[in-house]
A and B are shown apart, each in its own frame.
Chain A
Amino acid sequence: MITVAAVGDVHLDEEMRGRYRRRLGGLAGDADVLLLAGDLTKHGTVEEARVVAEEFRGLPVPVVAVLGNHDYQSDAPDAVAEVLRAEGVTVLEGEGTVVDCPGGRLGVAGAKGFAMGFPGRCASEFGEPEMKSFVRHSREAAEGLRRALKPLEADAVVALTHYSPVEDTLAGEPPEIFAFLGSYLLAEAIDASDVDLAVHGHAHRGTECGTTPGGVRVRNVALPVLGRPYGVYGIG
């Protein structure tokens, strides 16, 4: 059994400093690893990234993260990732990592993902260059996840994204904005590999539980959805 703790959308900045960390006291007993599903910062500044790094520094379990759209807001996602990595957080974008846990090896494939929509109500690479680049970014993001999943050799595999791979976990959000909350290409990538769990954030008003068309469990771990410091999922 491998136990995964996961949370997204903590949106930390100076005024949130310490608020989240004081909820992490029980982490060692709860889980083997902590996954962060993006939107770690409010505006994606280096200063906010430092708050995040300090909030998650020196925890008793490894921390693996992807960035979210807020972490891109200041056009410095690489700098944000660098600050987190300096404090020992593994930041993934289109790549995977394997964490040795007492119950076995956990593979984590991470990508931010992107919007675009779901079958039948989905944007396509057509028309204006802005539209094409929007959809192209979504395709590349999903391709990154697929690329990250492929070579993972582990006893259990988790797909970690910020945007949602499915509509199930968006229930509660206005349906009109579903297309901005995720992309079915992420689910397709997940279903193309042997994945045990997919976690994402981004949809604050969504619901926790869903599945991909291929039957992989999807969990929306956005902090407002959870109402608790993190979700804990036992695999195997």
Chain B
Amino acid sequence: MEYEPHIRDMLTTLKRVAGAFKADGVPFALTGGFGAFARGAPPSRHDVDFAVLPEDAERALEVLAKAGLRPVDAVEDWLVKAHDGDVLVDLIHSPADSPVTPAQLARATPLQVDSVRLPVMEATDLLVMRLRALTEHECDFSGPLATARALREQVDWGRVRAEAGSPYARAFLVLLHQLGVVGAEHSGVRHEPPQYAAGHLQQALAEDPRTAEQGIRVRVAGDDVYLSGSVSCPRRRDRVLEVARERMPGRRIHDELSVVRFDGPVREERLT
């Protein structure tokens, strides 16, 4: 297959690095954009990323130096870097404070990339790693989006949802749902019909010891939850709202509750 010169250079680097690691017995896996490429995504135009164990990072860099690459001082503490001509190689060992584990490397599958076979990080691990890297300052979804589209059938979305829990990752899953890349069940987006949600909340308000309220009416319309009925004192009203917010995360809770008043004048009724 013909690639443009820049991609070809990166593939050459990739092969050189993989060869060096194999020769010196450094455990590794291809990850990032080229990892996705190896699994069927379009070729990356960015760096060549490898995952290595944190304890192997320095040795891996020495191995690359021996193979003719030029180590670069990295300011980040979660990766080390080397240049192969114009191509930058990232050796990622502790992305987003989650060190690369032997289990992750063991899960990597040997795949053919251009003319070499090398371990490529599992699709789920690869995507989780990318999503964990999203932060306040780095939250461009376009890269992970291309990866997600290409790897959607190889990814265990339940695991992605469980392992990439940041607000950015959750927002990304909502985006995937909106774009139809994944189904609602994987996106964290509610798919429970509102009637059931209302039924469950109403029962929870009775059964939760914090509330023990049987007379609260619950109406759910889209993202809005309306609570009505009366409670005995203001603190109980607060707790009804607290339980409702807990049970209905992401929905707007509307407080239409009233506090029972019993300060009316006493009057006698004569039963005649």
Q: Which residues of A contact B268 (CB under 8 A)?
A: 3, 30, 232-234
User: How many B residues have CB within 8 A of the partner chain?
Assistant: 21
From A10, A224, A228, name the one whose CB has the most chain B CB atoms within 10 angstroms. Answer: A224
Contact with B along A5-24 (1 / 0, CB 8 A): 00000110001100110010
In the bound assembly, the distance between CA atoms of A217 and B261 in angstroms comes to: 25
- Whether B215 lies near A73 (C-beta < 8 A) is no
Check: B264 CB closer than 8 A to any chain A CB. yes
B139 contacts the other chain (Cβ, under 8 Å)?
no
A59 smallest CB distance to B (angstroms): 15
User: Which of B212, B265, B270, B271 is most buried by chain A, counting CB atoms within 10 A of its CB?
Assistant: B271
> How distant is the Cα of A234 from the Cα of B269 in the complex, in angstroms?
6
**Chain A proximity mask over B224-256: 1 for CB below 8 Å, otherwise 0:** 000001101101100000000000000000000
B271 in contact with A234 (CB, 8 Å): yes
Q: A217-B271, A226-B262, A235-B271 are known contacts. Are A42 and B230 too (CB-CB below 8 A)? A: no
CA distance A171 to B23 in the complex (A): 84
Once the chains bind, are B232 and A23 in contact (CB under 8 Å)?
no
A235 / chain B contacts, CB cutoff of 8 Å: 271
Whether B271 pairs with A228 at a CB distance below 8 angstroms is no
A223 contacts chain B at the CB level, 8 A cutoff: yes
The answer to whether A70 and B212 touch (CB under 8 A), given A204-B230, A228-B263, A228-B264, is yes
Whole-angstrom distance between the alpha carbons of A42 and B210 in the complex?
Answer: 10
9 additional A-B pairs beyond A228-B264, A234-B270, A235-B271, beta carbons within 8 Å, are A10-B232, A16-B233, A205-B229, A205-B230, A217-B271, A224-B215, A227-B262, A228-B266, A233-B269
> Taking beta carbons and an 8 Å cutoff, which residues of A are in contact with B?
3, 10-11, 15-16, 19-20, 23, 26, 30, 42-43, 70, 73, 196-197, 204-205, 217, 223-224, 226-235
Sort A-B residue pairs by CB-CB distance and give the 4 closest, nearest first.
Answer: A228-B264, A234-B270, A232-B268, A227-B264
B→A interface (CB under 8 Å): 209, 212, 215, 229-230, 232-233, 235-236, 260-271
A-B contact pairs, 20 of them (CB 8 A): A3-B268, A15-B235, A16-B233, A20-B262, A26-B266, A30-B266, A70-B212, A204-B230, A205-B215, A205-B229, A224-B215, A224-B260, A226-B262, A226-B264, A227-B261, A229-B263, A232-B268, A232-B269, A233-B269, A234-B271
